[in-house]
Amino acid sequence: MASSIYTPLKTDSVINRDSEAELVDRLTAAIARTGIQADRIDIASFYVALKRTPIVILAGPAQNGKVALIEWMANLLAGSSGPQRQVVPGHAWYAGGSPVNTVLVGMHARLITEKLLFIIEEAWQPENAQQVFVVGLTHISPAELLSFFTEVACQIQHNQVMHIGDAHLSTPVPFPPNLLMIGTMDTMDFDWWDEDLISGATIIEWRADKFIPQPDAASESQNFGCEFLRSSLRSSQRAYEKLFSVVADTKQPLKTVMLVRGILQEHGFEFSPALLDEVILYLANAWSAQGNGLFDPSTSRNLAIASDLALTQLVLPRSLEAILSSEPLEAKLYSILEEQLPRSSAFLKRQCEEHSSPISPKGI
């Protein structure tokens, strides 16, 4: 549950306010105007996740602002109209469950596939290289999660795509670096932590308060796409260089991450160098191109929030099976998370409750 509504980033300690911080503030303000009770940190987390990986799933209860968040992000990165932004229903719920309507469901899936193939082709055009393309598939079912997200997320690890939806291409197609795929899934308990999915996508459990319908605000559109592409880091080497330049004065910047890594490794979970690279990528993207923290202007607070979110979104989902099968590991993690990492602690608590874990942390 979000704890506060729009709270602009304080600028007294931010030098040369930049467009990335402005984008997050505008997005937060726009969401607040729709009546959604969302914390700025959670909205910034959505933006940072997109900088790290082109595929993001917003999962949470129905009608809590997920679609509005995609709409506004698409407006700010790709404009309010045109082929650069396509936000459409990801599943033909309108067809109902009748066997007669399975044809409509199939036609809908084919339409989405063709739309994706068209946008991939457009995004690769030389004249569009500096433009962001956004595809938003709303209210997806587990079937669309698998066919449009899990399969693509797995394939882009090899920098090519051959299967999209119901299409099987004759030759591989590289995934455009300027294309973002975002899905929303209405579910109280997301339980599809498949390695193929989380290897190339970020799952964000969106738990904003349900919004109270407000009069429609004017749609705000400003192309921050070029700045987004310029500042997004997807190279591990560049991420390490950037992170250690912005936290140069911080002692042991990875202390919290390495502490959790050590606990997991002690209990037999393989926290690979590749996973650590992913965490570094997330942390580096938590600062703007100008070196300003996107969660908080204070370097230490920005690092603490980003570390907490990186563990929540990248590390804990991969280690859930090991955690839930080991009471000593679960208890040890709680002793660390509860004290230092509130979002990671809340995530683990939800997962344990959903899977009826016997461990019940006190005080959370």
- Return d(Cα 174, Cα 358) in angstroms, integer: 46
Provide the pairing of β-strand 179-186 with 55-60: parallel
Report residue 11 as tokens: 């600028």
- Compute CA distances 58 → 62, 63, 223, whole Å: 11, 12, 23
Tokens representing 187 are 């579910």
| Type of residue numbered 67 | V
Domain architecture of the chain: domains with CATH: 19-227 (3.40.50), 233-354 (no CATH)
User: Cα separation of 220 and 26, whole Å?
Assistant: 9
- Dist CA 179 CA 233 (whole Å): 14
3-state secondary structure of 184: strand
Tell me if the pTM is above 0.85.
Answer: yes
8 Å CB contact between 59 and 144: no
pLDDT score recorded for residue 140 = 94
Quickly list H helices, 174-298.
Answer: 195-198, 225-231, 236-246, 255-266, 273-285
pLDDT attached to residue 266: 93
> With b meaning 16 or more CB within 10 Å and e meaning fewer, what string describes 225-238?
bebbbebbbeebee
Q: What are the structure tokens assigned to 59, written together?
A: 């999962």
How much of the chain is helix, strand and coil, in % rounded to 5? 50, 10, 35
Strand partners, 184: 58
Mean pLDDT by 10 residues, the chain (364 residues): 42 59 91 87 96 96 91 90 87 67 80 91 94 95 92 89 85 93 94 91 87 51 82 94 93 92 92 95 96 95 97 94 90 88 92 66 38
Give the model's pLDDT for residue 356: 65
> What pLDDT is attached to residue 2?
41
